[in-house]
Each structure stands twice: as structure tokens, then as C-alpha cells.
Amino acid sequence: ILKDIQNGKYIVTEVKKGERKRTPAPPFTTSTMQQEASRKLGFTLKKTMSVAQGLYEGVKIEGKGSIGLITYMRTDSTRISEEARVAAKKEIVKMYGEEYYENRYYKTKQTSQDAHEGIRPTYIDLNPEMIKNDLSKDQYKLYKLIYNRFLASQMQAAIFDTITANIDVNHYNFRANGQSLKFKGFMTLYIETPDNKTEEDEESFVPLLKEGQEVIKQRIDPKQSFTEPPPRYTEASLVKALEEKGIGRPSTYSPTITTILERRYIEKEQKQLVPTELGKVVNKLLTENFSDIINVEFTAKIEEEFDEIADGKENWKQVIREFYGPFEKEVEKVD
């Protein structure tokens, strides 16, 4: 292939132009707040929850006394009140103009308990810069993250002009994809940090090309790609996995990870979570002897049963009886 394309003519065979929209992320839930605070601010889960607790319980603001700056921070809902929508619209129109506002509703997952709103500022008129001097450094960083994420969730989509060009040389086809930002929309205020950046996240430039046009080869980069193993979990990506698999609740993500760190079952290497020898031994012991319990399906099923008990659909004594009988026998056997 390299030989065939070395000296041929590079002819543009097709040019497609289009438009792509990018919509804002919803207001924070506990898990998305923990993930973004980890990625953007370098906070541990424990630190994020501690700082959020302080913002929720109340901060002394000059001229206003002690006030809670955010809504309840243990939630898996993205719902927001109509009152907050009205306040968000007012602030967005004032700051950026009518064309930047869009009244958005976000679907809350079926498994969400929805008792609380998504995490948002309680007073939209208290923007982070206004109260910066009343907040600690960490409080300011997290409050700004929550504030901007919430406002951005009620803003217009960003619009990109896209271009795709096919270039032929000796019957081999090359493709160039590019995009340029046409209207910033919500990206004026907030952009979610992805776990793994893709080419799509980068703004790449492709010059204006015409079909039939010859282009000049600058260089050829021969490259062979191999499938990489999945990267180790970070605190942020582990929270995301726990949520996706239905393990735990907003209130348990941080304590779960903190506990296995404190017991030295895992340790941090840079940002990655790595199992220790002790962790491997404990894991082996548990999976070999309690395989019915130490699995994702069991944990998610128990969470569902707890929800049904809370809704009055299940009898808690019956649920505990069904679990504890077989479990007691397994414990005796291992003893």
C-alpha cells in the first residue's frame, strides 16, 4: 500500500458539508458531580462530598447571614423545579441574550428515586464571582462548577459546521473529517470533560476543497494499531461503573471507595486504583466461598428489593429471611 500511494495523484472525489449540534449535559447528580470534580478539579470523592456538604448546610455570606448555597447533594435525579427554571432563564438572558436560552427538560432514569432535585445553586442571583471572598478556595471551585453546569443545562446547543472529504490515490481512499464552531451556545459557559477524549472532541480544520481538485501530499505516517486493554479505574470512572451496574446509591459511592482504600484492598497509583496483594487475597476468598453474594447481579437485585420495601411492595422480614438462611449456612461452612 505504501508503495502504491507514494507517487500517485491525490484527487478529491467527494466533499460533504453539514451541521452538527452538541447539547449541554443535564444538572449534576451525585455521581456526575463526583466524576466532574475529580476530572476538572482533581478532588477525591470524599473531598467533593465534604465540600458539597458545607455548601448545602450553609455558608456565611456578607449582608445575608448563613445560607445554603446548593440543593441536597445526595440525589440521582436531574429534575429541576419550575421556580429554578424561571430564575435560570432570567440570568441567561441577562448575561448572554435571549438567543442563548432554551427551556430544557431531562429524563430521569427509571431506577432513580427522584425524591430530590438535581444539584443546583439555591440562589441563581448569587453567582460565584459575587461571593468568592466569602468562600474557601475549594468551596468556590465546586460552587462555580455546580453553578455553571446548571445554567449551561438551560442553554442553547452549540452548532458546528462539518466537512468530510474523500481523497483517492491509485484506488485507495483517504478520508478527512473536520469541524469548526459556528455558534458557541452553552459552551460559552461550560463544557463537560469526557473520560477519554476522541477526535470528535477536538476542533479539527479541513480547508475548503472541491471535487476533482488535486491536493499535495505532505507526508505519509505508516501506523499499526493494536487493541489496548481497558484502562484501570479512577475514582471518577469507578463511580460511573457503579451507577451503570446499579450498585449502591448516591450516598454510598464515596464511602464504598473510601473504605476499600482505607482497608488497603486497593491503592492509588497517580489517579488509577490498583488492587493490592491483600485485596487480591480477600477477593479470592470471597468469590470462591460467597459467589452468590459477591457479584454485580446480587447487589443490584438487593438494591431493587430495598426500593420495593420502601414503596411497601415487599415485606422486609421476608426479604431478610430469604437471604439470611442460606448465608448463615455458607458462613458456618467457611468457619
- Residues 273, 291: Cα–Cα separation, whole Å: 23
Single-letter code of the amino acid located at 257 = I
Q: Are 299 and 286 in contact (CB under 8 A)?
A: no
C-alpha distance from residue 291 to each of 61, 277, 326, 334 (Å): 53, 20, 12, 13
Cα three-residue angle 270-275-280, rounded to 5 degrees? 170
Single-letter code of the amino acid located at 261 = L
Q: Could you tell me which residues are beta bridge partners of residue 17?
A: 163
- Residues 282, 310: Cα–Cα separation, whole Å: 32
DSSP string, 54-110: HHHH-EEETTTEEE--B--S--------HHHHHHHHHHHHHHH-GGGB-----PPPT
Residue 162 region by backbone torsions, left for phi larger than 0, else alpha for psi between -120 and 50, else beta: beta
- Residues 146, 55: Cα–Cα separation, whole Å: 11
Q: Say which of 56, 72, 106, 123 is annotated catalytic.
A: 72
Neighbours of 332 (CB within 10 A): 8
Single-letter code of the amino acid located at 99 = E
Does the annotation mark 72 as catalytic?
yes
3-class DSSP state for residue 23? coil
Q: Report, as residue numbers or ranges, the catalytic residues.
A: 72
